Amino acid sequence: MTTTVRESAHATGTENAERSRSSRPGAERRRVVSQWLFVVPAVLYMLMFFSFPLVRNAVMSFQSYTPATYFTGEAPFTGLDNWRAVLSDELFAASLWHTLLFTLGSLAGQFVVGMALALFFQRRFPLSGLMRSLLLLPWLIPMVVAGTLWRRVLDQETGVLNGALQGLQLTDSAIPWLSSPDFALLSVVLVNIWIGIPFNMVILYGGLQEIPREIREAAVLDGAGFFRRFFSVTLPMLKPVVTVVLVLGFMSTVKILDLILALTNGGPAHATETLGTHTYQLSFLQLDFGQGAVVGNVLILVSMVFAVIYLRANREGVTR
């Protein structure tokens, strides 16, 4: 998905060039209309499936939108009632906090391991291409499947992880990975790190490949050690790619729902409730779509803060 960013950067560049080249005055309206017909279906679709939900959620958060609505067909406006109800609930603050911990913890783990693997695969050895492909599997399987298989691995009594840890005498008692509020969020983060490593590795690997070999070799000749080379040469040159990986990673991680539902359903004792699962619970289990919309809007706001960073990084990519 880096494609998105980098290629678009490239494309916007050409578009600029084209525009200045062809300032033909008075472009024929008919040409424009017939050309727009190519884009109209996709634009209408995106308005329906992306823009409309944003607007509808914003409006719904001020409405009493409950099961009664389906009988009466009415969703009366109730001002800030939904917002007040949601924000005063302790669960909301907990969800927000869990979302941040989950997202930042996942990103940090995925990035560090992904970077280490990307650096490792810089070397040429037999079957490295095949190995890089196989490593993608955790990222390609459905998240619900990943969640399900990790439930098996992390099972307190019969899971292989506790079995191995106890066999190696690393722990005396079985660790309640998913069944204790103290461990559940950590476990969910660890599983999500496992899922996200391949994505980080592939993008960072691609970025590393673009750094000219001579530059690194020059650093070696200057006597720079591994860490010095990494922090003074590699990382600064990789900065645009790193920004893209982290921002795209943030935007896709902050909204994760399937994995958490499959692993813990938000429990135990709401220990893994995030803004996403909280929205789901309110809207689709308690059928209070108005309150669900409030939490959904907060989730969008959190995403938006990072979208701004994303777009600024994108612009940086163009000027480069």
Partner 1 sequence: MSSTTSTAADRGARTTRAKRPDYLSAAAGTAILAVLLFPLYWMVNTALQPEAALAEVRWVPQTLDLGNFGRAWSSQADNLLTSILVALGAVAVCLALAAPAAYALARFRLPGGRAVVFGTLITQMVPGIVVANALYNAYVELNLVNSYLGLILADASLGLPFTIILLRAFMVSIPEEVLEAGMVDGAGRWLVMLRIALPMSRNALITGGLFTFLFAWSDFLFALTLNTTDAVKPVTLGIYEYLGAHVGDWGAVMAVATLSSIPAAVLLVLAQRYVAAGISGGSIK
Assess 43 for contact with partner 1 (CB under 8 A): yes
Assess 134 for contact with partner 1 (CB under 8 A): yes
Assess 71 for contact with partner 1 (CB under 8 A): no
CB of 93 to partner 1, least distance (A): 19
Residue range at the interface with partner 1 (CB under 8 A); choices 86-94, 166-174, 177-185, 291-299: 291-299
Whichever of 89 and 151 has its CB closer to partner 1, that residue is 151
Assess 123 for contact with partner 1 (CB under 8 A): yes
96, 175, 262, 313: which one binds partner 1 (CB under 8 A): 262
Assess 214 for contact with partner 1 (CB under 8 A): no
List the interface residues with partner 1, window 185-204 (CB under 8 A): 194, 197, 199, 202-203
Whether residue 228 contacts residue 152, with contact meaning beta carbons closer than 8 Å, is answered with: no
Assess 153 for contact with partner 1 (CB under 8 A): yes
6, 100, 165, 316: which one binds partner 1 (CB under 8 A): 6
Whichever of 1 and 80 has its CB closer to partner 1, that residue is 1
Residue range at the interface with partner 1 (CB under 8 A); choices 9-17, 80-88, 171-179, 180-188: 9-17
